[in-house]
Structure 1
Amino acid sequence: MYQYRHLTPEQKAEILQYRKQQGFPPHSPPHPVQDQQFYLLSAACYEHKPRINTLSRRQEILNQLFTHFIEAGSEILAWVILANHYHLLVENIEFKKISEILRFIHGRLARQWNLEDNLTGKVWYSYSDRAIRSERHYYATLNYIHYNPVKHNYVKSPYDWETSSVHWYLQEKGRDWLRSCWVEYPVRDYGKGWDDLS
């Protein structure tokens, strides 16, 4: 996503032309599939800076997300909030509301956190969405979300990260269910290449 800045003008023009041919917006993530039941939503802080750097901020954004998605008639089925990005697995969202909800939450929190940190400038990059294509994709996504704090070296075990739905699943489904889900739907290279320029 930030590689674009280091490209030559010719390379930038080539990428923009390709995106235009594909019907993608020039610089923001495309949203090609808008009629599925489940989506993985991912949002990152600008330049991946750790602006969600306290437990209270992570809990604050999680509370905001739950409040606004429920008001929109959607359900958050899995989540993880890290220091510089988050992932949500959501169901039954009216697609155009995703952008409205995230713009509202991100705008409010950006102002608040910039004041608290005595900073100015962008806090958020954007968000991306991935339509869930199958049962296997659904459960691999669930595992990807829960494993994310380990993947990014925050903790050694998913159970050690506080702002994750793994604790809800542990309580509701049990450790055996989570373990069998992990074995049956491994993460492997899940998400590899998602940040490619095209």
Structure 2
Amino acid sequence: MVNYRRVIITGGCYFFTLTLKNRRLKLLTEQIDLLRDSFHYALSRYPCHIQAISVMPDHIHLLVQLPNDTTYFPKLIQSIKSRFSLLFHQRIDKHLRFIWQSRYWEHCIRNEQDWLMHVNYIHRNPYKHHLVKCVKDWPYSSFHQYVQRGILTDSWQGEELDGYFGE
């Protein structure tokens, strides 16, 4: 078995991709209220700042800034995934097991350019997957907050980015 080592930096900024085991399911958008509850629960236990997020039908991309004195992102991710699974089993389907892929993609943000590239990737992801014709049309994204704060315009579409983002 591979001994995977994560880069864990106190107060670090991280990009994550969490993916459903069955990529044909659309649980994350169909059960968005359960997912929101899972995030609220996890963030109450492991506070951090979500700087960008896009919830796709079968995966989530998020950019998280940890507090200066913490390194607990594995517990945060585990908490989100396990809470969603628990709520799903309790309220929707007792028989669907192993909702999530066992691992997740994580990347430690290195600098401002790396951060900007990942924020843009997150916001452009629904467009990349042909779920919408315009980035602004995807409801499950922090893109709308960036527009409200004047950081991006409503017509922003971003550009195709090279690189691997955990999909």
**Which bracket does the TM-score occupy, shorter chain normalised?**
0.7 to 0.9
**Which consecutive aligned stretches of 4+ in structure 1 deviate over 4 angstroms post-superposition?**
176-179
Could you say what the CA RMSD is over the residues aligned between the two structures, in angstroms?
2.8
Q: Among all aligned residue pairs of Structure 1 and Structure 2, give the percentage whose two residues are the same amino acid.
A: 24
In the alignment, structure 1 segments of 5+ residues that lack a partner are 1-15, 25-30
Give yes or no for contact 2:41–2:80 (8 Å, CA) kept in 1: no
The equivalences for 1:1-198 within 5 A come to 16=1, 19=2, 23-24=3-4, 31-35=5-9, 37-52=12-27, 54-55=29-30, 57-92=31-66, 94-112=72-90, 115=93, 119-126=95-102, 127-176=104-153, 179=156, 182=158, 187-191=160-164, 194=166
Higher relative contact order (CA 8 A, sep 6+): 2
Q: Which has the higher helix share?
A: 1
Give yes or no for contact 1:43–1:128 (8 Å, CA) kept in 2: yes
Q: Distance in 2 between matches of 1:159 and 1:84?
A: 19
Give yes or no for contact 2:15–2:108 (8 Å, CA) kept in 1: yes
Query: For this pair of structures, how many residues does the alignment match?
Result: 161
User: For the structure 1 residues 137 and 83, does the alpha-carbon distance in structure 2 shift closer, same or farther, using more than 3 Å as the test?
Assistant: same
Give yes or no for contact 1:77–1:91 (8 Å, CA) kept in 2: yes
Return the index of the structure with the highest Cα Rg.
1
- Residue 177 of structure 1, CA deviation: 9.8
TM-score of the pair, normalised by structure 2 = 0.79
Give yes or no for contact 1:64–1:105 (8 Å, CA) kept in 2: yes
In the alignment, structure 2 segments of 5+ residues that lack a partner are none
- Residue 47 of structure 1, CA deviation: 2.7
Give yes or no for contact 1:143–1:187 (8 Å, CA) kept in 2: no
